[in-house]
Structure 1
Amino acid sequence: MTKKTEVTVEEKLRALYDLQLIDSRIDEIRNVRGELPLEVEDLEDEVEGLKTRMQKLNGELETLSDEITNRKNLIEEAKVLIKKYNEQQKNVRNNREYNSITKEIEYQELEIQLAEKHIREFKAQVEQKKEVISKTKEHLSDKETHLQHKKDELDAILAETEKEEQSLIDKSNEYQELIEGRLVTAYKRIRGSVKNGLAVVSIERGASGGSFFTIPPQIQMEISARKKIITDEHSGRILVDPALADEEREKMEQLFATL
């Protein structure tokens, strides 16, 4: 590889324009994917959120079921105690003992009533939870189907473009090595500041590519001479002459065809 200090201005301009063509090709590939990767990511987050919600709801349903079982057990225990107290009443020796046992029976009967009330409340909550779980499950199923569709769509695009994109990224890095650091930094800064990502453009009909501002004939001559790096005073883009651009486009098209 030619040392950076030995690279001529023309070679730098060619390398810069080649780099632009490569990066623009990468942009085209990524534009084909569009918002799909983000859509897939958002759907994955939604599905994960719904799964977490399902786990939480099922946990709450299990807790309610345990509570119902506990209350049923409490009722059975209370019934056993009532039976025992009824037997004891038959053998009481005085009114005080009778009244004491009667209060215990009344307390256990109240416990049974309270437990039955709780069971009814818990069963109502269970029905509500089951309804929410059913709707959440249906929503989750729809989202999973949609996610799979989007993943298949993305995988199909990646299968077509991933190899080419990686090859282009490698080429982009390779061409950056041909250009001095400050120019690469400037190129990236300009590229990041314009919406179409074009940091290096050729002159088209007397104006810089993508611009309506005419470039004076003297400046056009200097650009064609390829003796120094010249930028458009309006957009800041680096300018190259049409002949150089045509030559490099043809060269890059041949390169792209091999990737």
Structure 2
Amino acid sequence: MPAKTEVTVEEKLRALYDLQLIDSRVDEIRNVRGELPLEVEDLEDDVQGLKTRIDKLKTDVETINYEITAKKNTIEDAKTLIKKYNEQQKNVRNNREFNSLAKEIEYQELEIQLAEKHIREYKAQIEQKKELIASTKEQLGERETHLKHKKGELDAILAETEKEEKALVEKSAEFEQIIEERLLSAYKRIRNRVKNGLAVVAVERGASGGSFFTIPPQVQVEIASRKKIITDEHSGRILVDPVLAEEEQQKMEDLFRGLK
């Protein structure tokens, strides 16, 4: 059985820096996309909400029209009864019967007045709801136009980057497999803690990449020797020498071009 090949510190550093370059590229792609997916989702919710509101207002109008029809029927019934009572008054035998019928006629006339009042109120409600429907439709049109524009933006970005992002995420997972668990955990912990997601950085002009704190010359020599994993004492980031960084950047740029 062949002996297991020992992974050198330099190989670990290269793998970590490669992983950082891949993850940073994924971050870059997602930053370009930015808040667009959430904006599209919010606009879709707005559009659906406005459509639901319009449907409810239309249902309200139908219900009110039903009530108007019912009140019109009440008026017709009352008119029929008034006509009937007027005919009966012609054949009464005494004042008591006449007055009783007169009260019934008066009651039916009041019913007609009340029904007519309700119809006027219902018609006013319908006009109000129609105005709301019109203004809501206007809002809906604006939201749908905005949504179409935002979806177009998002679709264009996705069409341009989706394939590359998927391939990069797969590459990231591949590189994670070849990095020992302890180092990978440290990398992820640092990456989650720092604002720009950079857990592995190159030494630039005698300082940790993106930092103003100078690294002592002796430590710079140790970093360049690639004999052990060295972290920046201020940020906790893993440090690599500029030569290694340049070599891996070139290698990853070739890889990224192939993924597009």
State the partner residue of 1:135.
135
For 1:117-157, what per-residue CA distance to the aligned partner results, in whole angstroms no more than 9, with x for missing partners?
01111111111111111010011011101101111111111
Return the offset for 1:40: 0.8
Residue identity opposite 1:222 in structure 2: E
Q: Which residue of 1 aligns with 2:172?
A: 172
1:70 aligns to 2:70 (yes or no): yes
Counterpart-to-counterpart distance in 1, 2:4 and 2:84: 102
Which residue does the alignment assign to 1:219? Answer: 219
1:46-61 aligned at under 5 Å gives the runs 46-61=46-61
What secondary structure does 2:138 align onto?
Answer: helix
- Distance of 2:87 and 2:180 partners within structure 1: 103
Q: Distance in 1 between matches of 2:4 and 2:250?
A: 25
Q: In the alignment, is residue 197 of structure 1 matched against residue 197 of structure 2?
A: yes
Q: Does 1:110 align with 2:110?
A: yes
Partner of 1:241: 241
* Superposed CA offset, 1:186-243 (max 9, x none): 2122112222111110000110000000111121122122222211111111111111
Measure the CA separation in 1 of the matches of 2:92 and 2:237.
Answer: 107
Question: 1:72-87 to 2 correspondence within 5 Å?
Answer: 72-87=72-87
Moved more, 42-51 or 204-213: 42-51
Offset at residue 73 of structure 1 (A) = 1.0
Letter in 1 for 2:142: D
TM-score, normalised on structure 2? 0.95
The 10-residue stretch of structure 1 (237-246 or 184-193) with the greater mean CA deviation from structure 2? 184-193
Q: Which segment drifts farther, 162-171 or 225-234?
A: 225-234
CA 1:88–1:211: 2 relative to 1, 3 Å: same
Could you tell me which residue of structure 2 aligns to residue 96 of structure 1? 96
Moved more, 69-78 or 227-236: 227-236
Q: Which amino acid aligns with 2:169?
A: I
Stretches of 4+ aligned residues off by more than 4 angstroms: none
The answer to whether the 8 Å contact 1:57/1:133 transfers is: yes
Overall identity of the aligned pairs, in % = 77
Structure 1 residue runs without a partner (length 5+): none
**Counterparts of 2:185 and 2:141, CA distance in 1:** 48
Which stretch of structure 1 is more off in the superposition, 85-94 or 209-218? Answer: 85-94
Return the alpha-carbon distance in structure 2 between the equivalents of residues 181 and 51 of structure 1: 52
What value does the CA root-mean-square deviation take over the aligned residues?
A: 1.5
- Matched letter for residue 16 of structure 2: L
Number of corresponding residues: 257
After TM superposition, give the deviation of residue 5 of structure 1 in Å: 8.6
Any unmatched runs of 5+ in structure 2? Answer: none
Q: Separation in 2 of the partners of 1:209 and 1:38?
A: 32
